[in-house]
Homo-oligomer: A and B are copies of this chain.
Amino acid sequence: MLFLVKMDVDIPAEFDAEKASQLKLVEKSRFQELQRSGKWRHIWRVVGQYANVSIFDVDSNAELHDLLVTLPLYPFMTVTVRPLCRHPSSIYEDDR
């Protein structure tokens, strides 16, 4: 089940720089684990912003919520979620 998720990240200037770097490292590792599992299907940078647009493929709303709120950078994110479904014209299995 697919969802379009946009994450805007805003780490305050006064936040400890080293702690931020470490959080980003953990975030990246957590992301790659989820991408390999197929749950976090796609991620792209939004040009000019500290933000990404992602496609999640999960079994339920609850699973998506749990994945998002346990991200290391979640406390600094504004998240919007839009449920998607297969487009009848698509010729690819991947767009289910």
Residue interface bits A21-56, CB-to-B below 8 A is 1, else 0 = 000000110011001100000111111111011010
> Shortest CB–CB separation between residue A46 and chain B, in angstroms?
6
| Total identical chains | 10
Residue interface bits A65-88, CB-to-B below 8 A is 1, else 0 = 100110000010001111111111
A contact residues, total (Cβ < 8 Å): 50
In the complex formed, the residue of B with least CB distance to A2 is B44
Chain A residues with CB under 8 Å of chain B are 1-5, 12-13, 15, 27-28, 31-32, 35-36, 42-50, 52-53, 55, 60-62, 64-65, 68-69, 75, 79-92, 94-95
Q: Say yes or no: A91 contacts B35, CB within 8 Å.
A: yes
